[in-house]
Amino acid sequence: MHFTSLAATALTLLVAVNTAQAKKVLSWDDAYTKAKALVGQMSLEQKVNITTGDGWMMGRCVGNTYPITKPDFPALCLQDAPLGMRFADNVTSGVAGINAAASFDKEAILARGVYLGQEFYDKGVHVLLGPAMNLGRSNEGGRGWESGGEDPYLIGVLAAESVKGIQSEGVIATAKHYILNDQELNRKNSSSNADERTLHEVYLWPFARAVEAGVGSIMCSYNQLHGTWACEDDYTLNQVLKGELGFKGFVQSDWSATMSTVPSANGGLDMTMPGDITFNSNDSYFGKNLTDAVHAKTVDESRVTDMVTRIVAAWYKVGQDKNFPSVKINAFHRDEAEIVNVQRDHKKLARSMAAASNVLLKNSGILPLSKSTKSIALVGSGIKVSSSGINGKDACADHGCLDGHLAQGWGSGTADFPYLIDPLTGLTNALGKGVKIQTSDSDWDLEAAATAVEGADVAFVFSATDSGEEYIVFDGNVGDRNNLSLWNNGDNLIKAVADANKNTIVVINSVGATLMPWIDHPNIKAVLWPGLAGQESGNALADVVTGAVNPSGRLPYTIAKEVTDYNVKPDPKFDIEYSEKLLVGYRWFDHAKIEPLFPFGHGLSYTTFSYSKLKVKVSKAKKNADVSVKATVTVTNSGKVDGAEIVQAYISFPESAGSPPQQLRGFEKVFLKKGKKENVDIEFTKTELSIWDTDAKAWVIPSGKFTVHIGASSRDIRQSASFNL
């Protein structure tokens, strides 16, 4: 076996990241100075125009504002999606957000943000509607795959690095969906109710990191919050977002999530999208209604001035006042769009990220494939692209079906594939003519599956689960998954293949955790979890299977033994009580002492790593105003091949804090050649060491004994050390 030196990938990433320096991002102070000078020249009607979308399907983008002249300000183009450009051609459709998180690779996430920014910039899109950063509160949640899993720290890293990458290329990023928007069930007719500490420590955390990264826009969500619509909620928008966090950009509504004029404007909403009250209603809560509200003195004009200043400041911040390209997409009339290929060499990043996010859950040594392998079998509909084409066309709009190989979920968070490398193509190209490949692409014909794997040295069996946004219903799943079982007869197919071949490898392309009733079958020798790997899915799978890439992906969620082990699922009631409070994901499993099937942060390698010599150094400034704790651990590649380890750091807070048993508070990806070792530093600041004090209404470092746990997953702790603050 051989491993591609990660130096080549690192160099590609470095080039992309360095390219980001070509466009300078202004400070908010400088952006506001420019914005105030321009807005000061505007009439009330002009200011209102900039805050108001022109209506659904009325412009070239999914969202468009009105332009103004004298002074001049352009119509802004706002476009989905977090993983690539929706309703556009000649663009890259790479890994989903959940895979980006599974890489646990800050540099790769940043580089992904950079290439997304480049493509949206080159197409003349002002505002990218991403990253998504809602928490995977329940595994059934339909849009969880757009975000980063069950841990706020991990999603916070995904958010911050994505924002920095996107905005470095001159495009405004949008952190969404704010806030407590964690299921599709009744998303427009329910109230999410969480206590103040839970809101801050779990659900606000990723948005805080996005704000720190300078995000230009935040999208408020469809749901209500304690009975108030999210897009007019004074507490979360004004007091928390613009007050506590100091957010300087603009708040835009989700599409038709604006529910009023005066409460929305006064509650903190700065832009209504797509502008009309309901799609194609020819009326708006802003527009003339907002102008009238100012004249009636129910909305002060200073509020409208603040709204537009925030929008214009974000525009200046990323440099869109200087030679920004014209809009080159036409979302609803794609045949009329200019033909502009913006993909550059981004397929290389898409492939490396897909490989880096493959999670090897189980391996008895069968992977990577031995050079002596002469024949393999590939079974399941997931081995090939859909019979209706890579993008499904009208029969599968916005990818709202599961027919063939799955590489992204469904809904507005999708992008059309320019091409899709399926597993059959990827493995055929990688293995060459020296390996015989036997296939069956039926999920239901178990006899054909057994026949296909007969005599093969190794049998690969593919299965999947899918989900997405609630406006698409597939196989009775209204966005959210109805259950956590594999789709299309997957469990029976896997058992049939394993019964017929003693060297079975299970490959799961899934939006999230699934049940695995077959996991202890003696013939299942490996389980590989590529997730939603994008256009290069099959090539990335082949890279891992053949050993060209040593897997280093880690689970961004917990896979349980039984569905009853989870403590949350989508709630059909109007009032959705976040009664689990801080105990989301692995925190619940740790608290309840439930053994997961595969824990959060788990993932295997083709080599082994040992940890030693953990040291913790505490540095305090005067009056504890600034506290820094640095953990240093020596990591050694004790195996036989080169590889990367994800060093994870979990903190146990003092007992008086009332916190979960442990919480992820840092991680680093380190590449080591065989036999080599390296000291890995992970630093914790006040941000990582604080809890939200509901009495003080502030982040406070609790007094007492902390313990830092360093390891390879939340349940594979290798070294621990305590310190007092």
- Give catalytic residue positions: 254
- What's the Cα-to-Cα distance from 480 to each of 418, 466, 473, 715, rounded to whole Å? 27, 9, 9, 28
| 106: nearest Cα among 318, 347, 356, 346 | 356
SS3 state at 513:
coil
On the 0-12 / 13-18 / 19+ scale of CB atoms within 10 A, 703 is: exposed
- Contact status, residue 247 vs residue 28, Cβ threshold 8 Å: no
- Contact status, residue 239 vs residue 204, Cβ threshold 8 Å: no
- Contact status, residue 566 vs residue 184, Cβ threshold 8 Å: no
d(CA 288, CA 309): 19
The pair of three-digit structure tokens given for residue 386, joined into one six-digit string? 């859909």
Place of tokens 């990827």: 426
The pair of three-digit structure tokens given for residue 354, joined into one six-digit string? 């897909």
What are the phi and psi torsion angles at 7 (to 5°)? -60, -40
The gap from C-alpha 232 to its chain's centroid, in whole angstroms, comes to 26
Question: CB within 8 A of 512, min separation 6: which ones?
Answer: 98, 136, 139, 140, 141, 144, 145, 465, 467, 481, 484, 557
d(CA 173, CA 215): 6
Pairing label, strands 705-713, 677-684 = unpaired
- Contact status, residue 353 vs residue 115, Cβ threshold 8 Å: no
> Residue 639 is which amino acid?
G
- Contact status, residue 286 vs residue 68, Cβ threshold 8 Å: no
d(CA 496, CA 521): 11
d(CA 203, CA 198): 7
Rg (CA), the chain: 25
What are the phi and psi torsion angles at 153 (to 5°)? -65, -50
Place of tokens 């009339």: 333
| 705: nearest Cα among 661, 663, 652 | 652
| 606: nearest Cα among 635, 638, 643 | 643
